[in-house]
């Protein structure tokens, strides 16, 4: 009896309550509320995230924030800079960097106060006059002829991008001549580094003795990320020798035999012969800024350095057609390295995606914005000839593929899809900050890696009528694993594992958001930047500064006692420029070096061209 009576009694009781006028309004609204919640939950989990993304709806709503709110946010970034810089001044100046947990200091870049030099132009842009005056005093007093640490040897690449870049950029903005004099003082003590037949610099130099150090095999990023600084130095001092330093490196790159690497520069180079070695290709560590400087040197010289543009087009064609992949589950676009050429013509992809590579979306977007990619005749370039098979081997294939596309469009798609992935690596973490390195779980046991290339997905999408979003470009829902899922390894839905879980206060993702925001006007990039800033405030702030994180996988995140100078030079600068309503550095008038130091675009006069013997222009 109980089996049938009870349910009936229950149903009758419910019906009575439902129809009783006393309970009706409350009950009905709760019921409909519940139904709505269930519907929303189902929609959230079943509908493809590309079309309905609640997270991005939230972000879009945020994007409608008023200009006052954005200015207030920019002000908060300024205060973050002040907090970091004052902490450095108080506990570490004039040493290189602050240790933000122990309130200690470290001399890791010559002991000349790298944080001061790297921060100069940001301080100026933020209008921090007192801090600027104090920084000038440090700059004036620095003795560049003695380097502290590393046995007295100054690492060339870091010294150029941080110190020389900071000085020149602050000079360009403030016109304080002392800054230019100090930039030249520095260039003079560094100069013995160029004692190679190829004109490519050694790894380090002793500024006291002029002795240089480093293997005969140089690393791409370290030997060819100086063209902007030295060309600008030549321009403002009128001294030819600085231009020749930059020009020698560009000419060696342009002469190199790149048949085996399909027109792309590998990581290793012989400094004597000026020839590339091996097949290791990357846009991340050890390679990044060398590719970046091809575009930026062309832009800085008011689009006169055509050779740099040709090399840029070869590099980007290779990257887009051979190094960009798409993940199987969430269809995340990523760029990876290729390790050797034994397995496959193009080299075995590692499927590692580095935070450092997140500068690439910004570079591609900047190129798409500033170059006549679909009218290259205008720049005196025949796109087809750039991939000549006899000289550049399998590059020909990539050029053939891209000829069928609107080049501006495909560069922008590549930029947007990579930036989406960079963003998700942040949004996927409980800390809201991105790991230094991930590895995509792309499995290709039974089919060649080629099948997972991003360009293949684009081809397929186009063949099937280009319906739906461009592969990789759509917004996706973040997948945040709970502590239990993380520890048990049972989390599902992500298509990568973390290889280096730390967040080192790096700028690359924000740098790309900044350029995408300027180029596309899509406020989602700005809104995401704000979300990242909030995470920086929450997770990395200490009483004396901001600290790198050992892992992004938990909140609160465990900290590391380090505040690299690029956090002030780049990360906070890009944030501020993006959030504030003003644009003091329009992309067609200023070009950022790889450490975010802006240099003004300039034209060479005919006399300068002659005086500098510029065969290139
Ligand atoms: C910066 O020092 C520069 O951007 C460099 O080119 C590589 N990345 C670091 C910060 O991550």
CATH number of the CATH domain containing 112:
1.50.10.10
Determine, yes or no, domain membership for 545.
no
* CB of 168 closer than 8 Å to CB of 590: no
Q: Looking at residue 44, what is its pLDDT?
A: 43
Determine, yes or no, domain membership for 13.
no
The share of the chain scoring above pLDDT 70, in percent, equals 87
From residue 35, alpha-carbon distances to 31, 233, 306, 602 in Å are 6, 68, 63, 63
Alpha-carbon distance of 206 to 150, in angstroms, equals: 9
* CB of 274 closer than 8 Å to CB of 197: yes
Say if residue 279 is in the same domain as residue 222. Answer: no
Q: Looking at residue 339, what is its pLDDT?
A: 78
Of residues 321 and 347, more confidence is placed in 321
Alpha-carbon distance of 236 to 231, in angstroms, equals: 9
Alpha-carbon distance of 540 to 506, in angstroms, equals: 12
Say if residue 218 is in the same domain as residue 349. Answer: no
- pTM, entire model: 0.90
From ligand 1's centre to the CA of 488, what distance in Å? 34
The string of pLDDT tens digits covering residues 461-503 is 999 999 999 999 999 999 999 999 999 988 999 999 999 999 9
Torsional sign, CA 64, 569, 138, 591: negative
Of residues 395 and 28, more confidence is placed in 395
Determine, yes or no, domain membership for 49.
no
Structural domain span for residue 490: 262-427+442-494
Determine, yes or no, domain membership for 450.
yes
Say if residue 270 is in the same domain as residue 171. Answer: no
Among all chains, which residue has been given the structure tokens 């740099």? 308
Q: pLDDT at residue 365 above 80?
A: yes
* Residues of the binding site for Ca(2+): 594
Alpha-carbon distance of 333 to 12, in angstroms, equals: 57
Domain C-terminal end among 255, 275, 307: 255
The string of pLDDT tens digits covering residues 410-441 is 999 999 999 999 999 999 999 999 999 999 99
Q: Report which of 229, 320, 312, 304 is spatially closest to residue 265, judged by C-alpha positions.
A: 312
Token reading at 396: 């020909």
Determine, yes or no, domain membership for 570.
no
Per-chain mean pLDDT for the chain: 91
Atom of ligand 1 nearest to the CA of 596: 4
The number of domains in the chain is 2
Model confidence at 34, pLDDT cuts 50, 70, 90, reads low
Which residues sit with their C-beta closer than 6 Å to ligand 1? 288-289, 356, 506-507, 566, 594-595
From ligand 1's centre to the CA of 201, what distance in Å? 19
Instruction: Pick the range with the lowest mean pLDDT from 42-51, 77-86, 269-278, 380-389.
Output: 42-51
Tell me 217's DSSP state. E
Alpha-carbon distance of 297 to 314, in angstroms, equals: 15
Alpha-carbon distance of 434 to 135, in angstroms, equals: 32
Token reading at 340: 């050797």
Q: Report which of 480, 496, 494 is spatially closest to residue 440, judged by C-alpha positions.
A: 496
Q: pLDDT at residue 10 above 80?
A: no
Q: pLDDT at residue 40 above 60?
A: no
Q: Report which of 283, 555, 575, 560 is spatially closest to residue 428, judged by C-alpha positions.
A: 555
Q: pLDDT at residue 408 above 70?
A: yes
Q: Looking at residue 442, what is its pLDDT?
A: 79
- SS3 of residue 349 by DSSP: strand
Say if residue 195 is in the same domain as residue 172. Answer: yes
From ligand 1's centre to the CA of 452, what distance in Å? 29
Say if residue 484 is in the same domain as residue 343. Answer: yes
């Amino acid at each position: 009896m109980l089996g049938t009576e009870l349910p009936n009694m229950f149903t009758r009781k419910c019906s009575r309550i439902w129809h009783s006028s006393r309970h009706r309004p409350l009950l009905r609204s709760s019921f409909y509320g519940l139904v709505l919640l269930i519907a929303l939950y189902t929609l959230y989990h079943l509908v493809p995230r590309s079309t309905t993304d609640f997270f991005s709806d939230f972000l879009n709503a945020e994007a409608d924030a008023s200009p006052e709110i954005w200015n207030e946010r920019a002000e908060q970034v300024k205060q973050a800079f002040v907090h970091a810089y004052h902490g450095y001044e108080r506990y570490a100046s004039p040493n290189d960097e602050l240790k933000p947990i122990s309130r200690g200091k470290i001399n890791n870049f010559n002991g000349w106060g790298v944080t001061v030099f790297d921060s100069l132009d940001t301080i100026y842009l933020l209008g921090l006059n007192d801090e600027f005056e104090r920084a000038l005093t440090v700059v004036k007093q620095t003795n560049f002829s003695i380097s502290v640490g590393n046995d007295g040897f100054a690492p060339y690449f870091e010294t150029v991008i941080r110190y020389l870049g900071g000085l020149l950029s602050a000079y360009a903005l403030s016109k304080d001549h002392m800054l230019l004099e100090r930039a030249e003082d520095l260039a003079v003590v560094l100069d013995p580094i160029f004692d190679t037949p190829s004109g490519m610099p050694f790894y380090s130099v002793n500024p006291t003795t002029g002795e240089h150090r480093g293997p005969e095999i140089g690393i791409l990023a370290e030997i060819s990320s100086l063209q902007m600084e030295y060309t600008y130095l030549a321009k403002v001092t009128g001294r030819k020798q600085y231009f020749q330093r930059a020009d020698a490196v560009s000419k060696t790159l342009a002469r190199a035999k790149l048949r085996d690497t399909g027109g792309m520069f590998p990581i290793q180079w012989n400094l004597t012969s000026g020839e590339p070695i091996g097949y290791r290709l990357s846009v991340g560590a050890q390679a990044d800024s060398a590719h970046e400087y091809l575009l930026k040197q062309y832009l800085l010289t008011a689009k006169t350095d055509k050779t740099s543009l040709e090399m840029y087009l070869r590099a980007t064609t290779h990257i887009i057609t051979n190094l960009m992949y798409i993940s199987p589950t969430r269809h995340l676009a990523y760029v990876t390295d290729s390790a050797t050429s034994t397995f496959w013509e193009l080299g075995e992809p590692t499927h590692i995606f580095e935070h450092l590579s997140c500068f690439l979306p910004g570079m591609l977007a900047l190129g798409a914005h500033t170059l006549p990619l679909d009218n290259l005749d205008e720049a005196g370039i025949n796109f087809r000839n750039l991939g000549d098979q006899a000289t550049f081997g399998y590059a020909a294939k990539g050029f053939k593929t891209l000829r069928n596309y609107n080049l501006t469009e495909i560069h922008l798609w590549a930029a947007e899809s990579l930036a989406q992935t960079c963003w998700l690596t942040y949004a996927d973490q409980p800390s809201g900050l991105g790991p230094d390195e991930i590895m995509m779980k792309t499995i290709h046991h039974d089919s060649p890696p080629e099948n997972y290339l991003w360009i293949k997905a684009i081809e397929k999408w186009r063949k099937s009528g280009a319906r739906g979003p461009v592969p990789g470009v759509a917004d996706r829902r973040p997948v945040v694993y709970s502590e239990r899922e993380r520890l048990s390894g049972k989390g599902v839905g992500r298509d990568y594992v973390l290889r280096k879980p730390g967040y080192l206060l790096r700028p690359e993702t924000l740098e790309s958001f900044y350029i995408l925001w300027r180029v596309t006007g899509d406020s989602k990039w700005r809104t995401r930047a704000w979300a990242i800033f909030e995470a920086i405030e929450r997770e990395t702030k200490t009483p004396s500064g901001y600290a790198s994180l050992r892992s992004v996988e938990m909140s609160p995140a465990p900290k590391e006692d380090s505040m690299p100078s690029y956090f002030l030079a780049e990360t906070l600068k890009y944030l501020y420029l993006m959030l504030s309503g003003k644009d003091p550095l329009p992309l067609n008038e200023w070009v950022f070096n790889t450490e975010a130091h802006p240099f003004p675009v300039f034209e060479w006069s005919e006399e300068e061209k002659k005086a500098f013997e510029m065969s290139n222009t």
